[in-house]
Structure 1
Amino acid sequence: MVSPRLIVKNESEEPSVRLAVLIDADNAQAAVIDGLLAEVARFGEATVKRIYGDFTAPTSASWKKVLQKYAIKPVQQFAYTTGKNATDSTLIIDAMDLLYTRKFDGFCLVTSDSDFTGLAMRLREEGLTVLGFGEKKTPDAFRNSCHKFIFTEVLRPSAKKESDTSDQGSGREAKTVTDSKGQGQAREKNSFPKQFMLDALEQSSDDDGWAQLGTFGSYLTKLQPDFDSRNFGFKKLSDLVKAKKDIFLIEERNQSGSNIKQLYIHAK
């Protein structure tokens, strides 16, 4: 079994597994990309993100809009003949090339196509974790060839979450202040992403709803690489959660076998 590598250091060190995310554009919807990458972050770091398809086709228009935003590398495969076998073959070849680099702990295969069943089984034979993402129509063969399979329908944003995302934008809001001449002047201010923090806490917590601070911090940065508590006036993440008493409950626990205390947090 491949040992997890230490990738990120937050307020406490936590190992992170390296994942290759390979997306079949012919059998995946761009609308799920937010939820998809958030789900991947629960398992490790998406070191490689590639998507395969014919991006000259009108059906790929929705994907072209999100590739740059999420730093996903497109692999163009022209549809020389009817069908999608060329796309499937390119993805499988790339997967095997990545496998033999021995740099990855697991693969995330985003497709509803049973043609990737053989690939999933081959990756598992090498001792790698295989996570599958696809629609409910995905055949049982591919579902069962993965260590875990997640239905993309549950990753689709609800109307409320779409509204929240629109309101928050990039995490900034415009605030009007009055200068010495009484003129209104717009000033940009960081708004606190409350819902984002609560969603991340829910995903990183145990069955009782408690999350160790380091685990929580690691998940935050996996979801949003530019997240920094200093953007909101706090030197450390621990200072932030302690100050947000209206959102978080905190508890200090002794680490097993030592007098070192670790901070745990829970949604209020």
Structure 2
Amino acid sequence: MTNENAVKLAVLIDADNAQPGIVEALLAEIAKYGTAHVKRAYGDWTGPSLKGWKDQLLAQSIQPMQQFAYTHRKNSTDSAMIIDAMDLLYSERFDGFCIISSDSDFTRLASRIRESGLIVYGFGERKTPKAFVSACDKFVYTENLQEPLAAPEEPEPARVSPALVKQLRSVVEAASDEDGWAMLSHVGQILTKQAPDFDPRTYGFGKLSDLITAITVLDVDRREAGSGKHAVIYVRDRRRRTGKS
């Protein structure tokens, strides 16, 4: 699936558990991964709690899926979403699913879809339980879709922790050649496999290359890839220059 525009996605939104103000940025993010062939939002649209969603449904061509709350303390919206997701999965018309919720109830659904060989993108707030995050191929915190980004040369010390630096060094080493150089794209792929919620925007940067440049523990080398092609970025642990371990 190298052509992202050809990737067919089913977008399922738990409207009871997501904010309508994120929809425009959310769909723009989803467009990076493929085309939303189905866009559905689930909830009890007869009540006042989802009033803020109604304008977004029309503006973004999202189909509202009515689900009455039959009993108290039981989330019927989750059940309806899961049933529809399985129907869409069995239709074999999609390459992946986008599940928008901060609810751990969708953990097994994400795992089941991945077991069928399809990719799962999760979107939710930072309070989302780790189990659901880990069940997705990639998880995007919705706060990252709204927060302003720092300039590349201005790292945020409170966000860039020693643990992050250690993780980056470890992944670069794992992806490196004999000289210690690793393609940045490969580094990003490994980071996402290790931590589906890894996102440079969490640390105040729009791109992984901006984050790596700012923390200054890695060398960055931009190599020409040929006429008309973008330069390929390589990174290396700076300790390789001095031979330190």
TM-score range, shorter chain: 0.5 to 0.7
Cα shift at 1:106: 0.5
- Which among 135, 150, 156 is matched to residue 145 of structure 1? 135
Match of 2:154 in 1: none
The structure where strand makes up a greater share of residues is: 1
Structure 1 length normalisation: TM-score? 0.55
Count of matched residue pairs: 162
2-side partners of 1:55 and 1:84: how far apart?
Answer: 17
Is the CA contact (8 Å cut-off) linking 1:55 and 1:76 kept in structure 2?
A: yes
Structure 2 length normalisation: TM-score? 0.60
- Which among 7, 21, 28 is matched to residue 17 of structure 1? 7
| Higher Rg of the two aligned structures | 1
Cα shift at 1:264: 5.7
Confirm or deny that 1:129 pairs with 2:129: no
Match of 1:114 in 2: 104
Partner of 2:32: helix, strand, or coil? helix
2-side partners of 1:83 and 1:23: how far apart?
Answer: 20
Confirm or deny that 1:46 pairs with 2:36: yes
Give the counterpart letter for 1:136 in structure 2.
R
What 5-or-longer segments of structure 2 have no aligned partner? Answer: 149-204, 211-223, 232-245
Matches within 5 A, 1:80-99: 80-99=70-89
Give the counterpart letter for 1:137 in structure 2.
K
Confirm or deny that 1:33 pairs with 2:23: yes
What 5-or-longer segments of structure 1 have no aligned partner? Answer: 7-13, 159-201, 209-250, 255-261
Segments of 4+ moved more than 4 angstroms: 205-208
2-side partners of 1:149 and 1:5: how far apart?
Answer: 20
Is the CA contact (8 Å cut-off) linking 1:134 and 1:150 kept in structure 2?
A: yes
Confirm or deny that 1:73 pairs with 2:67: no
Is the CA contact (8 Å cut-off) linking 1:252 and 1:264 kept in structure 2?
A: yes
Superposition RMSD in Å = 2.6
Is the CA contact (8 Å cut-off) linking 1:28 and 1:134 kept in structure 2?
A: yes
2-side partners of 1:84 and 1:36: how far apart?
Answer: 27
The structure where helix makes up a greater share of residues is: 2
Cα shift at 1:17: 0.7
